[in-house]
């Protein structure tokens, strides 16, 4: 996507957010949230909020969003939505995945999270309630972060599939040809750092409050767990996002190993025709259903 096109999308999103915000009534949760936020600021230092607050948000959101996919394997009526029905989850695979996830979270990501306070200080990112953007602006900024992260992810992810690099780093993430939600952050430590760096670029561009950091963490985890879930759930609200890739799009990447490199959106794959095999596969699947 060209830079002008991206700028136009973001500008339109800001205008839409401002218009929607002007139409909505005052949020009844605003006062309780303000009191809770004030309590946090009064009882904890900025370092504690940025470090341990970010860690708690990450861990709670990650495992909470992984829970539905974990429960789906025990629900027979959900199996019709499983994309690769011939490859069910096993306890062995899930235990292997959990051990790597715990290691990555606390030995790789926690040291990175410990730099959050210094990051917010360097960029003069406020913590106070009065500076907090309205929720509509937070969502718009999160969308902007997703556009930037997806661009970073597409090109770096595609580079990690180069035959000289793949077996040393990215092969770890492809241990599972049929992904499940918990596997979203199952990766080589170097990949966690390389692809994870894209998360912070949007923050540097848009962040005007620490609340955006947590909102963006939440949205990014929701998205990556959804595309790794292995289930194509109908009426998924994430599919309302323009050009959203979704579980079926990314599931094919794990099954095929080639193509569909975008993390959130489909436009880079469409532009560089790296989704051709996916569309050919889907056409064949549709023909089989018609027979």
- What the block records as the tokens of 252 is 């094919």
- pLDDT, residue 271, reads 96
- pLDDT, residue 15, reads 55
- pLDDT, residue 89, reads 87
pLDDT in tens, the chain (291 residues): 445 555 555 555 555 555 555 544 555 667 888 999 999 999 999 999 999 999 999 999 999 999 999 999 999 999 999 999 889 889 999 999 999 999 999 999 999 999 999 999 998 999 999 998 888 888 899 999 999 999 999 999 999 999 999 999 999 999 999 999 999 999 999 999 999 999 989 888 888 899 999 999 999 999 999 999 999 998 899 999 989 999 999 999 999 999 999 999 999 999 999 999 999 999 988 887 766
Q: Which SS3 state, helix, strand or coil, does residue 228 take? A: coil
- What the block records as the tokens of 104 is 């990555």
- pLDDT, residue 133, reads 87
Task: Report pTM.
Answer: 0.86
Question: What b-and-e string marks burial along 142-153, b requiring 16 or more CB atoms within 10 Å of the CB?
Answer: bbbbbbbbbbbb
- A 10 A CB-CB count for 269 gives 23
- What the block records as the tokens of 37 is 């936020």
CA-to-CA distance for 35 and 132, rounded, in angstroms? Answer: 14
Question: What b-and-e string marks burial along 184-215, b requiring 16 or more CB atoms within 10 Å of the CB?
Answer: bbbbbeebbebbbebbbebbeebbbbbbbbbb
Angle, helices 276-290 vs 246-256, to 10°: value is 110
- pLDDT, residue 83, reads 94
- pLDDT, residue 120, reads 92
- pLDDT, residue 251, reads 95
- pLDDT, residue 166, reads 95
User: In Å, how far are 232, 281, 284, 291 from 288, measured between CA atoms?
Assistant: 18, 11, 6, 5
């Amino acid at each position: 996507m060209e830079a002008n096109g991206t700028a136009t999308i973001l500008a339109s999103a800001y205008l839409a957010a401002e218009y929607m915000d002007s139409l909505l009534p005052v949020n009844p949760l605003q006062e309780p949230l303000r009191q809770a936020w004030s309590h946090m600021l009064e009882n904890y230092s900025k370092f504690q909020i940025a470090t341990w607050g970010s860690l708690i948000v990450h861990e709670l959101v990650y495992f909470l969003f992984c829970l539905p996919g974990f429960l789906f394997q025990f629900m027979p009526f959900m199996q019709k939505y499983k994309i690769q029905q011939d490859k069910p989850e096993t306890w062995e695979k899930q235990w292997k995945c959990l051990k790597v996830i715990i290691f990555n979270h606390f030995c790789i990501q926690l040291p990175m999270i410990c730099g959050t306070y210094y990051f917010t200080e360097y960029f003069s990112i406020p913590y106070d309630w009065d500076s907090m953007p309205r929720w509509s602006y937070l969502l718009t900024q999160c969308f902007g972060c997703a556009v930037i992260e997806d661009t970073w992810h597409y090109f770096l992810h595609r580079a990690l599939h180069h035959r000289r690099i793949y077996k040393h780093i990215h092969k770890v993430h492809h241990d599972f040809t049929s992904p499940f939600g918990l596997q979203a952050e199952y990766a080589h430590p170097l990949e966690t750092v390389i692809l994870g760096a894209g998360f912070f670029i949007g923050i540097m561009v848009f962040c005007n409050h620490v609340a955006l950091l947590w909102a963006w963490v939440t949205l990014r985890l929701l998205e990556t767990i959804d595309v790794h879930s292995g289930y194509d759930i109908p009426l998924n609200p994430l599919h309302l996002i323009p050009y959203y890739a979704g579980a079926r799009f990314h599931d094919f990447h794990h099954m095929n190993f080639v193509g569909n490199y975008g993390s959130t959106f489909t436009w880079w794959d469409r532009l560089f025709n790296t989704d051709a095999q996916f569309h050919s596969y889907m056409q064949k699947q549709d023909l089989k259903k018609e027979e």
